[in-house]
Amino acid sequence: MCVHILKAGYHISVYNRTKEKAKELIEGGAQWCSNPKKVAEICDIVFTIVGFPQDVEEVYLGENGILKGIREGSIIVDMTTSEPSLAQKIYNEAKKKNVNSIDAPVSGGDVGAREGTLAIMAGGDKVVYDKVLPLFKLMGKNIAYMGKAGSGQHTKMSNQILIASTMIGVVESLLYAYKANLNLSEVINVIGKGAAGSWSINNLGPRIVEGNFDPGFFIKHFVKDMGIALQEAKRMNLSLPGLSLANQFYISAMALGFENLGTHGLYKVLAKMNGINI
């Protein structure tokens, strides 16, 4: 995601817990900073994307966090999938410093990040969103302003709820085709172009067939997301039985040691349940 901005000619300053992972950016001209606070002291717009809500809190509100070094009038954009309430908290803390905050989680996995085709759903002040939009367009194709602070995160929860149940369908569909001795690639080619077509079957289905369960998005992060969605649903007095079922399957994946596989690693769980060796 950062590479697209760098290649567009913007001056970039970066921080990552593991400097080696920023090597490509540094070699491309990005300036290395020793912590998030240093980045904020230099930059007019600060983007973040980390793992869990506690990471977001540390990056923004910790001792060496962004809000410790941010300058008045700057913009912060958190693209982590995180808690809507935390997005609102960061928005309010930023306002105290005359800083603008946007929550803008993404969807599209590793493929979308590499190709600059991510879906980006943003919450915050519309006038600030409009200022950041040219940069969003370097990273994504499906970009939308969803409303006040936290609205981007709520939209991403809707996205994850849909993906969770869809992935069960993808996995069960391919297991059925496998037991029926069908050619899985041919099955995907046919049903992926009809009413059953989805991003998951067309992009992750072929990976399942190849036995490639490398993560575009980690199971452990997906479990985190489903937990947030279920927590928000409980707060809204909303029952989501489909999501609850999917969450249990993914918790089983974690128990089997699959937490670092991609979300399509669910195939391994249901295969194991059915005595299928893959």
CB atoms within 10 A of CB 215: 18
- Which tokens hold the place of 134? 């040219």
Indicate which residue of 23, 95, 96, 156 is catalytic: 156
Q: Are 247 and 151 contacting, i.e. CB atoms less than 8 angstroms apart? A: no
- Which tokens hold the place of 20? 């080696």
Give the DSSP H/E element, type plus range, for residue 13: strand 13-14
- HSE, side-chain direction, 13 A CA sphere, residue 60: 32
Greatest alpha-carbon span in the chain: 63
CB atoms within 10 A of CB 276: 13
Residue in the structure block whose two tokens are 């969807």: 107
3-class DSSP assignment, residue 147: strand
**CA-derived radius of gyration, the chain:** 20
141 noted as active-site residue: no
CB atoms within 10 A of CB 38: 17
Catalytic residues: 156
